[in-house]
Amino acid sequence: MSTNHKETPHIKPNGVEIAETILLPGDPLRAKFIAENFLEDVVQFNEVRGMLGYTGTFKGKKISVMGTGMGTASMGIYSWELINVFGVKNLIRIGSAGSIQDDLNLYDIVFAMGSSTDANYAHQYNLPGHYSITASYELLEKAKKVADEKGYPVRIGNVLASDVFYNADSTAMERWSKMGVLCAEMESAALYMNAAQAGVNALCILTISDHIFKHEKTTQLERQTAFTKMMEIALELAE
């Protein structure tokens, strides 16, 4: 866990502990919702740039939650600092995603076993080939067990972490879909690579908020507060 004197340009805990297990929604208001509705003994540890972060307990176990913003760059910064400065060991992204499969519908839950990406985040490692971006099996196995115990059906597979939200290439998602990719989001690849390099655990748990091909979508308020099943699964992963 973090020591109370550490800070970065983006995270200033002011003496508040950051737990070794942290939930990472993109939306800081979702972090606030989780802190207020699921955690006990909550203390806020970050408000820099409006990226709210909290530490509390869930069923007696210490856990933190903080927003990360959108995209590879934002997740890359926050996850790197949490891992390498504050000593976080288990990072669980809980986010929304757009389905690109006909049989994956609104509110379905996806565990990102793999993360395909159009981002160039891996270039920094100077690897002599293409890196396969995967979740921590330890967290994936635990999350599946929790989902089974709660009776929550989940899909497990490959997701797309895209750098592009408004894509000028209108056929891009169709090609990813043909390769069996389940859905599109924007952060899992950077999270998984930062975790892999540091030897810590990461998992991305997603709720389908819209269907890209069917043009179905949930509201902003639903994305912020109604995705409680994925939150419940993630909270049970606290060490």
Q: Which residue in the block uniquely carries the two structure tokens 């389908």?
A: 208
Catalytic site positions: 210
Q: What is the 3-state secondary structure (H, E, C) of the chain?
A: CCCCCCCCCCCCCCCCCCCCEEEECCCHHHHHHHHHHHCEEEEEEECHHHCCEEEEEECCEEEEEECCCCCHHHHHHHHHHHHHCCCCCEEEEEEEEEECCCCCCCCCEEEEEEEEECCCHHHHHCCCCCCCCECCHHHHHHHHHHHHHHCCCEEEEEEEECCCCCCCCCCHHHHHHHCCCCEEECCHHHHHHHHHHHCCEEEEEEEEEEECCCCEECCHHHHHHCCHHHHHHHHCCCC
Q: Torsions phi, psi of 140, nearest 5? A: -60, -45
